Amino acid sequence: MSRLFAPLMLALVMAACTTSPQRLEPAPEINEFYDPFENQNRRALAVNKVVDDLYIKPIANFYKFIVPKPARDGAANVTSNILQPSYIFNEFLQLDFEDAGHSTVRFAVNTTVGVGGIFDVATGMGFENRPEDLGQTLGNWGVPQGPYFIAPFVGPTTARGTLGSLARLGVDPVTLAILPEDISVRAGVIGQRTFQKRIDSDTTLTDVYTRPDGYILLRSLYLQEQAAALYEDGDPYANLPDFE
């Protein structure tokens, strides 16, 4: 890990001497989007629905049925803790040293007192989870989000958000750098996050896959979520269209 952070700190010092990330104001009203691939996206969404119906949802439901909730919560805590170094990495890249310190303490507490992250002790101590990914980092440095698209077998994203999508699955470069090379460990992390996310988002995905305006709903939810993550002081959800 020290070999990873040494060049990072050098890069941060150089960056701090030449420029600084944008300190974003609260999010403006979000009523525009860049979706030049809508036709292809709709086809990709249809493919993803088939894959979900055949594989993802049944496996997620089986996982939910055979694994008690306390065990699922513990597994989710472990994989979330594994992602903390990636959050810290991105907070350093954003020159957000306060959040980097916050996440470092959270990681240390949950790794030790929380028995490898099984128990989320840090949240009760005031060190809540603050996810950051490379997509957010690029956004903070002024990189535009680019076109919206739906990736087959992955879901909604943007050109900039692709890196964030990988991070949420645990396959971003920082997480892979600290995970054992054993493929079963890496597959376990990705599988747990995939199936737990499917369980947590069941209501939303049911709406997306069954409603006539499901494509528009998914696009709006995703872009609002990305804006909320980037403009942390704003409330872009206040502008979410009414689908009722």
Distance CA 164, CA 179 (A): 18
- Residue 101 is inside which H or E element, if any? helix 97-112
In a domain, 19, yes or no: no
Mean pLDDT, range 33-49, rounded to an integer: 94
| Distances 16 to 92, 104, 174 between C-alpha atoms, Å | 11, 21, 21
pLDDT tens-digit series, residues 62-79? 999 999 999 999 999 999
Band (27; pLDDT cuts 50, 70, 90): very low
In a domain, 81, yes or no: yes
DSSP letter (8 states) at residue 117: T
Distance CA 175, CA 193 (A): 13
In a domain, 32, yes or no: no
Backbone Cα Rg of the chain: 19
Assign 155 to helix, strand or coil. strand
Is the pLDDT reported for residue 148 higher than 50? yes
Band (161; pLDDT cuts 50, 70, 90): confident
Q: Domain containing 200: what range? A: 47-234
In a domain, 204, yes or no: yes
Q: How many domains does the chain contain in total?
A: 1
In a domain, 160, yes or no: yes
In a domain, 57, yes or no: yes
Distance CA 40, CA 79 (A): 33
Q: Position of tokens 């996050």?
A: 193
Assign 148 to helix, strand or coil. strand
Reading the block at residue 108, the tokens are: 């240390």
In a domain, 167, yes or no: yes
In a domain, 6, yes or no: no
Distance CA 219, CA 139 (A): 18
pLDDT tens-digit series, residues 76-116? 999 999 999 999 999 999 999 999 999 999 999 999 999 99
pLDDT tens-digit series, residues 186-236? 888 889 989 999 999 999 999 999 999 999 999 999 998 888 888 764 343
